[in-house]
Structure 1
C-alpha cells in the first residue's frame, strides 16, 4: 500500500465514521434523558478499560521499530495514565446507586479485549491507522457528554475532567500518527488489515455505548 498518510487516514475515518443514530446512549445523555446512574457505570467500565489500554499502548510501543510509531504509542500510554487520575472525581460525583453498577459488562469490555489482542498481534503501523480513525468519534462523544453533564446533570468541572481530557484535540499526537503511518506506507508495513482493524474498533466502540443504552434507557 502506497500514497499519502493524510489521505489514507482521512479516507478511512470518513468511510467508517459512525452515523448519528448508531450510538444510542450519547444522544440520551445529550438531551438529559439518561439516568444519573449511567455515569457511575461509565466510570466503572472506563477504569477497567483505561488500565487495559495503558498496558496495550506500552506493549505496542515496545514492539514498534519505527520512531514515530514508538513515540505515538508511548504518548498515548502517558495520556491513559493521566486519564485514570481523572476518573476518581467522576466516580465520587456520580456515586454508584448499587453494587451492580460496578460489575463489568461484556459489551463494554469487548473494546479493550480486542485492543489487547491487537497489541500482541497487529502490525503497529496498521494499528496506528485504526486508532486514529476512532479518535474523531470518541472525542466527539466525550465533548457531547461533558457539555450535557454540566447543562443537565449539574456536574462540576472536576467531575467532567475525564471527558474534557479526551474531547481536547492534541495536534502533536495527530502529527505523530501521520508521520508513523507515512513511514509505514513508505516501508510497506501498512496493509489492508488497517481498515479491518479500524472497522472493528468502531464496532466495539459502539458496542460499549449501546450496551449501556440497552441497560439504562429502560431505567
Structure 2
C-alpha cells in the first residue's frame, strides 16, 4: 500500500459518515436514559476493558516491530488505567462490586471486544494498528459527549466521570506513537487492505454496542 496515512484518513472519513447511526449517545445528552441503563453501560465496560486489556497485550506480544509493540503496550497500559476508573462510575450509578460480578453481559455489547480478541489471535498486528486508530476518533467523541452529559444531566462528579474523561482525552504523545507504528508497518510491508475491513467491522461492532443500549433506554 503506497500511502497508508492517506488510507487512514480516508478510512476515518468513511467511518465518520456512520457516526449519526449511534442512537444512544444523543439520548444520554438529552437526559433520556435511565440510571439503570447507564449502570448497564458501566457493567458492560467492566467486561470490555478486561478483555481489551488482554487483547492489546497479545497484539504487543505478536508484533514484529518495536514501534507496533510499543503502540499496543501503551493501549494495554491505558486499559489498566481505565479499569481503575470503572468502580466509581458503577457506584455512582447504583451498582456495587457484587452487582457488577453478577451482571449477565449482552451479546450486542460484547461483539466489539470479541472481535478484537479474534484479531489479537489472527490478524497482522500492523493492520490492527490502522483499524484501531481509525476507530479512535469516533470512540473518543462519544466518550466526551457522555462525560459532559453525565455531569450536566445526571449530576455525576469528576471521579464518576473519569472513565469517559480518560478516553475523551488521549495522551499527548498518542499521535506520535501511532505514526511511528504505522511507519514501521509501511516500511516492513506488513499493512494490507485487510486493515480497512477490520476498521469497518470495528465501527459496525461499536455501533452495535451503543444501539443495544439504546434499545433499552
State TM-score, norm by structure 2.
0.94
Aligned to 1:173: 174
Distance 1:188 1:203 in 2: 27
Q: Is 2:190 aligned against 1:192?
A: no
Instruction: Map 1:32-181; keep pairs closer than 5 Å.
Output: 32-96=31-95, 102-181=103-182
Q: Is 2:211 aligned against 1:210?
A: yes
Distance 2:164 2:40 in 1: 14
Kept after mapping to 2: 8 A contact 1:18/1:202? no
1:20 Cα deviation after fit: 4.3
Q: Alignment partner of 2:195: what SS?
A: helix
Which stretches in structure 2 are left out of the alignment for 5+ residues?
none
Kept after mapping to 2: 8 A contact 1:17/1:137? yes
Kept after mapping to 1: 8 A contact 2:23/2:214? yes
Kept after mapping to 1: 8 A contact 2:12/2:135? yes
Distance 1:178 1:9 in 2: 11
1:2 Cα deviation after fit: 1.8
1:96 Cα deviation after fit: 3.8
1:79 Cα deviation after fit: 0.3
State TM-score, norm by structure 1.
0.93
Larger displacement relative to structure 2 (189-198 or 6-15) = 6-15
Q: CA RMSD in A?
A: 1.6
Deviation digits for residues 164-192 of structure 1 (CA, Å, limit 9, x no counterpart): 00000323122111111122122211101
Distance 2:95 2:137 in 1: 29
Q: Alignment partner of 2:158: what SS?
A: coil
Distance 1:74 1:169 in 2: 15
Q: Do the aligned partners of residues 94 and 45 (structure 1) sit closer, same or farther apart at CA in structure 2, a change above 3 Å counting? A: same
1:18 Cα deviation after fit: 4.5
Distance 2:103 2:37 in 1: 11
Distance 2:86 2:79 in 1: 11
Kept after mapping to 1: 8 A contact 2:37/2:213? yes
Q: Count residues with an aligned counterpart.
A: 214
Aligned to 2:2: 2
Q: Alignment partner of 1:171: what SS?
A: coil
